[in-house]
């Protein structure tokens, strides 16, 4: 137990979320509890992780979740480990919510995205059909998030664009999407900034400069692709080509990267397998499953095309440094194990002093100076 690497999780504590400030001490080695001397509260070592208040061996939970995130059906896990199905579903829920928090904390940070590809897939569930829309940064293959809806409409696409916007800096940005018209309206609506505020009335919104949109429309006959139409809907050919070149190298507008990612999700989430027998019952189960798979994809899986050459060894053999999408995006410097992901504690936001009329008291001033 290392108190220097731990933060106080108490949302009412001025020291919440801050590490290495000397306020955390070991309270009980036997019970694995820490004490915060600012709020005088104790907390468990596993607070904020998937393992909080779980009685099962953590290695078994990790193994089960790693299997779930690689397409192993729940019934197979129930049979092999002798667990109750509700227990497995509960672990999956915990891990999915936890992964979504990790995603929001680490991936949904502004970065220069370059090129983003987005697509929707149709998911057949037990009693209904839903649409799962996802987006990916092409240069790092970073999965940017997913949205689920019963309808394939502008609401679905707008919600996805909000996720992309949370990951984007206001820099030149190319969207490669299919021919679905809702993308155009959603991108125009979401990627806007308020111009300097006026004294009264609603702020006016100005579209981001440097937004480019390219569509890739496939033509089918008898279930086979017979032609592909590529068109630039917004931006010039030169600007679009430059963004395509810098993010993928081959210089052809396509949606191949997001289609490949869709295939990965279909293989790794039992409920997404086409003509599979593990149909999901609830959209929430799909949501948690998608976030577990997506976060393991981002942090815990090397991506073949992201490796970088290290040196040429004997007999001209090239040695490579493998990278995960999160490593390529500069979020982390190493491959995370599934256990590391499940144990990652998302810090609460910094404490803000309570709003009072008049000047703050000396005690509150001291707290503000030390913790804000
Ligand atoms: Zn505290």
Closest CA relative to residue 34, chosen from 53, 8, 55 = 8
State residue 272's pLDDT score: 76
Ligand 1 centroid to residue 42 C-alpha, Å: 8
Q: Which two tokens stand for residue 7?
A: 């933060």
- Ligand 1 centroid, distance to 41 Cα (angstroms): 6
Q: How many angstroms separate the alpha carbon of residue 10 from the centre of ligand 1?
A: 6
Tell me which of 35-44, 81-90, 184-193, 203-212 is least confident.
203-212
**pLDDT, mean of residues 74-97:** 94
11-25, 268-282, 287-301 — which one is most confidently predicted on average? 287-301
Cα 109 to ligand 1 centroid, rounded to whole Å: 26
Residue 258 — pLDDT band, cuts 50, 70, 90? very high
Q: Tell me, what's the pLDDT at 124? A: 86
- The two beta strands, 308-312 and 318-321, are antiparallel
CA 364 to ligand 1 centroid distance, Å: 15
CA 63 – ligand 1 centroid, Å: 33
CA dist 221 and 225 (Å) reads: 7
Q: Is the pLDDT of residue 317 over 90?
A: no
Compute the distance between CA of residue 172 and CA of residue 284 in angstroms, rounded to an integer: 35
| Residue of 275 and 61 predicted with greater confidence | 61
Rounded to the nearest angstrom, the distance between the alpha carbon of 32 and the centre of ligand 1 is 17
Mean pLDDT of 179-184: 90
Give residue 197's pLDDT band: very low, low, confident or very high (50, 70, 90): low
CA angle 87-53-81, nearest 5°? 30
For ligand 1, the distance from its centroid to the CA atom of residue 9, given in whole angstroms, is 7
Mean per-residue pLDDT, 352-367: 78
In this structure, the strands spanning 129-137 and 115-124 are: antiparallel
293 CA distance to ligand 1 centroid (A)? 33
Q: How far is ligand 1, taken at its centre, from the CA of residue 208, in Å?
A: 41
Task: Using the predicted structure, report yes or no on whether residue 305 has a pLDDT greater than 80.
Answer: yes
Ligand 1 centroid from CA 23, angstroms: 8
Cα–ligand 1 centroid distance for 105 (angstroms):
21
Ligand 1 geometric centre to CA of 37 (Å) = 6
Cα–chain-centroid distance for residue 1?
Answer: 29
Distance (Å) from CA 11 to ligand 1 centroid: 8
CA distances to 37, 92, 289, 341 from 45, rounded to whole Å, are: 16, 21, 26, 15
Averaged over 94-98, what is the pLDDT?
95
CA of 90 to the centre of ligand 1 (A): 29
- Rounded to the nearest whole angstrom, what is the distance from the C-alpha of residue 31 to the centroid of ligand 1? 18
> What distance in angstroms lies between residue 365's CA and the mean position of ligand 1's atoms?
17
If you measure from the C-alpha of residue 24 to the centroid of ligand 1, how many angstroms do you get, rounded to a whole number? 8
Average pLDDT over residues 246-267: 88
In the reported structure, the alpha carbon of residue 17 is separated from the centroid of ligand 1 by a whole-number distance in angstroms of 9
- Rounded CA gap, 315 and 97, in Å? 48
pLDDT at 248: 76
From ligand 1's centre to the CA of 30, what distance in Å?
21
Average pLDDT on 151-180 reads 93
pLDDT surpasses 90 at 350? no
**Residue 257's pLDDT is what?**
93
The dihedrals phi and psi of 43, each to the nearest 5 degrees, come to: -150, 155
Of 340, 267, 291, nearest in space to 72 by CA: 267
For the cut 80, the answer to whether the pLDDT of residue 346 exceeds it is: yes
Q: Give residue 14 CA to ligand 1 midpoint distance, Å.
A: 7
Distance 299 CA to ligand 1 centre (A): 30
Give residue-wise pLDDT tens across range 108-162: 999 999 999 999 999 888 788 899 999 999 999 999 999 999 999 999 999 999 9
Identify the residue with better confidence: 332 or 203.
332
What is the 3-state secondary structure of the chain?
CCHHHCCECCCCCCCECCCCCCCEEEEECCCCEEEECCCCEEEECCCCCCCCCCCCCHHHHHHHHHHHCCCCCHHHHHHHHCCCHHHHHHHHHHHHHHHHHHHHHHHCCCECCCEEEEEEEEEECCCCEEEEEEEEECCCCEEEEEEEECCCCHHHHHHHHHHHHHCECCCCEEEEECCCCHHHHHHHHHCEEECCCCCCCCCCEEECCCEEEEEEEEEEECCEEEEEEEEEEECCHHHHHHHHHHHHCCCCCCCHHHHHHHHHHHHHCHHHCCCCCCCCCCHHHHHHHHHHHHHHHHHHCCCHHHCEEEEECHHHCEEEECCCHHHHCCCCCCCCCHHHHHHCCCCCCCCCCCCCCCCCCHHHHHHHHHHC
Average pLDDT on 215-244 reads 88
Average pLDDT of the chain, as a whole number:
89
Q: What is the pTM of this model?
A: 0.91
**From the CA of 86, how far away is ligand 1's center (Å)?**
34
Tens digits of per-residue pLDDT, 269-287? 877 776 666 667 778 888 9
- Residue 265 pLDDT more than 90? yes
pLDDT value, residue 301: 94
């Amino acid at each position: 137990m290392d108190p220097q690497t731990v933060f106080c999780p108490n949302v009412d504590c001025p020291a919440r979320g801050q590490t290495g400030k000397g306020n955390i001490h070991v309270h009980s080695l036997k019970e694995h509890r820490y004490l915060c001397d600012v709020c005088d509260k104790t907390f468990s070592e596993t607070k904020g992780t998937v393992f909080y208040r779980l009685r099962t061996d953590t290695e078994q939970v990790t193994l089960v979740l790693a299997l779930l995130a690689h397409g192993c059906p729940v019934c197979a896990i129930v049979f092999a480990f002798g667990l109750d199905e509700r227990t497995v579903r509960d672990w999956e829920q915990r891990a999915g919510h936890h992964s979504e928090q990790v995603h929001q904390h680490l991936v949904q940070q502004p970065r220069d995205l370059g090129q983003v590809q987005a697509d929707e897939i149709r998911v057949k569930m037990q009693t209904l059909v839903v649409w799962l829309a996802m987006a990916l940064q092409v240069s790092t293959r970073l999965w940017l998030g997913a949205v689920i809806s019963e309808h394939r409409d502008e609401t679905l696409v707008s919600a996805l664009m909000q996720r992309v916007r949370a990951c984007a800096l206001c820099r030149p940005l190319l969207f490669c999407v299919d021919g679905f018209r809702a993308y155009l309206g959603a991108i125009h609506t979401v990627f806007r900034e308020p111009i300097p505020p006026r004294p009264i009335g609603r702020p006016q919104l100005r579209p981001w400069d440097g937004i480019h949109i390219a569509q890739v429309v496939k033509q089918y006959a008898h279930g086979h692709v017979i032609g592909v139409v590529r068109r630039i809907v917004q931006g010039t050919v030169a600007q679009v080509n430059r963004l395509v070149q810098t993010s993928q190298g081959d210089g052809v507008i396509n949606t191949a990267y997001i289609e490949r990612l869709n295939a990965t999700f279909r293989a790794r989430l039992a409920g997404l397998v086409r003509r599979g027998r593990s149909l999901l019952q609830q959209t929430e189960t799909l949501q948690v499953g998608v976030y577990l798979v997506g976060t393991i994809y981002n942090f815990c899986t090397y991506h073949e095309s992201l490796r970088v050459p290290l040196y040429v060894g004997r007999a001209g053999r090239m040695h490579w440094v493998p990278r995960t999408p999160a490593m390529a995006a500069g979020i982390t410097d190493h491959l995370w194990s599934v256990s590391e992901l499940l144990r990652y504690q998302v810090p609460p936001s910094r404490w803000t002093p309570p709003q009072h009329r008049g000047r703050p008291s000396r005690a509150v001033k001291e707290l503000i100076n030390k913790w804000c």
